[in-house]
Chain A
Amino acid sequence: MKILVALKQVPDTETKIKVAADGKSLDPADVKWITSPYDEYALEEAIRIKEGKGAEVVALSVGGDTAKDVLKNALALGADTAVLLKGDGQGDAFAVAQMIAAYAKDKGFDLILCGNKGLGGDNAAMGPMLAELLGVAQANVVVKLELGEGTFKAEREIEAGSEVVEGALPAVITAQKGLNEPRYASLKGIMAAKKKTIEELDASAVTAGAQVSALALPPERPAGRLLDGDASAQAQALLQALKDEAKVF
């Protein structure tokens, strides 16, 4: 079995967002970059499949030199090989899906795993777009995955519950928190990863479907009001305010 794991480098969740001088991108100063947390579940699942039934795991990221950190981490955790597609990995999901599809086409991957969304862009679109471009099945926001002979059974999160999707391999599966508990890299893994090389390829030329023309911070929220009295009085005052001023009820 051959598994591709697509990994994206994103700003850490604690990052305070600042808009760059161009008015449409993130100011990279003071940003700490991490592997998108949902991609960590995807990588962990690939490694577990490799340990369980044997598989070759290829880690891939689209980006510049800094994205190599993501790939080094993937190698340390157990990916067999790593590929850096040199291109804009932070841009339009459709463009990124095309780059990955161009690479993955005809390479015989049985399974492609990635996070259900890249943290930050929050598009949740790259996975299903990649599935369509490769002409394969998909299951998104997956919390449980079982593989059969050329088939998969995935439980995915939906509104107020989950649903079971069955389909044929190859397939694109996008991971959700709950799928597994990602491991930490072992010292042995880190040392072994140092000996491995990252294959660098230029991403194929693609046409973007959409672009960001402006990035803005949300408006400041107006100053709030503290409610006085004991618990009972505070409760009364709150409900009255929500009813009369906010008209929530």
Chain B
Amino acid sequence: MILVFCELKDGQIRKPSTEALSEGRRLADASGKKVGALFAGASCAGAAEAAKFGADVILTAEAPTLASYSSDAFATLLADAVKAKGATVLLAAATAVGKDVLPRAAARLGAGYASDVTGLAMVDGKLQAVRPVYAGKAFATTTFSSAVQTATTRPNVFPAAEKAGAGAVEVLAAPAGDFKSVVKEILAKAGGKVDLSEANVIVSGGRGMKDGANFKILEELADAIGGVVGASRAAVDAGWGLPHSMQVGQTGKVVSPTLYIACGISGAIQHIAGMSGSKYIVAINKDPEAPIFKLANYGIVGDLFEVVPELTKAAKAMGIGKN
């Protein structure tokens, strides 16, 4: 069996989890295996939806003690489910929770782990993973020497495909309490926008923004086209008051949106490393020699303080981002 750990939010499967589950289904079809979707929480209402993304079996562990995420509780649950089901592959989305729990579960299983993969295949019955290394400056093909193989899938890379599975529900026993650590509180960022690592459209600013307050014009464009705002290391380190969680690059977030609009970003290797996996790149820069133009699908040589507001205006006029 291929087991996929899925996360619920407000009773719905999170999008990165539907992508991981869909990829699990494809791998199962290629190797004649079954797919199990594993859920844990105070309530797993909404887990039935996993059948739509190909789950043959839906495993649920419900307990008040699982209301908050706990590394060791969830790792125990995952590892026990792998053993109980004789699963050979364990997948999850490369989210904050997925990247926290899967390595821990892998260590418990004595299993190899590939993080944040962008490609998976079954080769001679064994999992093979392709993953960006050096923040996307290279890609490593990873093979496993362990019996159980584990990986997290990068959000926004694997298509979520609806394919009906049997969806038989099995209830798992929740791990006993007294966990070593537990999440006590969630501090949401104002606005509650999606994270850069999951965003489909990113409008990013660099040193050419001149000041943190000027990022307002990027916010306006992002709002108009349904995107979120990022920044280069130069902008974050400039002391403009931008949080490091906005930083895109080798020492920041590695992103893979459909559209990346780089405003006033010259294109240092550090930054390019973090965003070169974007499907379409737009560069707006006054300097026609800026290295970012070598990477861009569309380039605008011009003053971003003129171009960006024009883009916002035109996007609103064209009704973009409203569909």
Q: Which residues of A contact B (CB under 8 A)?
A: 11, 13-17, 19, 24, 26, 37-38, 92-94, 97, 119-133, 136-141, 153, 155-168, 171, 176-178, 207-218, 221-222, 224-227, 231-232, 234-236, 238-239, 241-243, 246, 248-249
Contact = CB atoms under 8 A, between A and B. Distances in A.
- Listed from nearest, the 9 A-B pairs whose CB atoms lie closest are A209-B112, A167-B181, A210-B112, A159-B195, A137-B180, A235-B310, A158-B96, A125-B103, A132-B107
B276 A218 contact: yes
A224 B300 CA distance: 11
Given A137-B181, A210-B142, A239 B251 contact: no
Given A159-B195, A246-B280, A165 B114 contact: no
B251 A119 contact: yes
A180 to B, nearest CB: 12
B146 interface: yes
B311 A216 contact: no
Contacts of A236: 314
Interface string B240-284: 000111010111101000110000000011100100110111110
B309 to A, nearest CB: 8
B123 to A, nearest CB: 10
B78 to A, nearest CB: 11
B100 A122 contact: no
Contacts of B184: 153, 164-166
Interface residues of B, number: 105
Given A128-B100, A236-B314, A248-B259, A17 B115 contact: no
B320 interface: yes
A123 B181 contact: no
Contacts of B299: 224-227
B175 interface: no
A227 B303 contact: no
Given A125-B113, A157-B245, A13 B251 contact: yes
Contact of A161 (B187, B300, B302): B187
A122 B115 contact: yes
A206 B51 CA distance: 40
B115 A123 contact: yes
B103 A124 contact: yes
B14 to A, nearest CB: 9
Contacts of A166: 181-182, 184
A161 B71 contact: no
Contacts of B294: 221, 224
Given A120-B133, A235-B311, A246-B297, A210 B189 contact: no
Interface centre among B72, B146, B192, B320 (most CB of A within 10 A): B72
Contact of A238 (B103, B180, B311): B311
A93 B150 CA distance: 13
B17 to A, nearest CB: 12
A132 B101 CA distance: 10
A4 B69 CA distance: 26
Contact of A17 (B69, B138, B247, B280): B138
Contacts of B181: 137-139, 165-168, 171
B144 A248 contact: no
A163 B138 contact: no
12 contacts: A15-B137, A125-B103, A163-B185, A171-B181, A210-B144, A210-B149, A211-B112, A214-B141, A216-B139, A231-B307, A235-B310, A238-B300
Contact of A209 (B145, B201, B250): B145
B106 interface: yes
B113 A210 contact: yes
Given A37-B251, A92-B112, A131-B71, A122 B104 contact: no
- Most central of B100, B179, B185 by chain A CB within 10 Å: B100
Given A137-B180, A166-B182, A224-B297, A122 B132 contact: yes
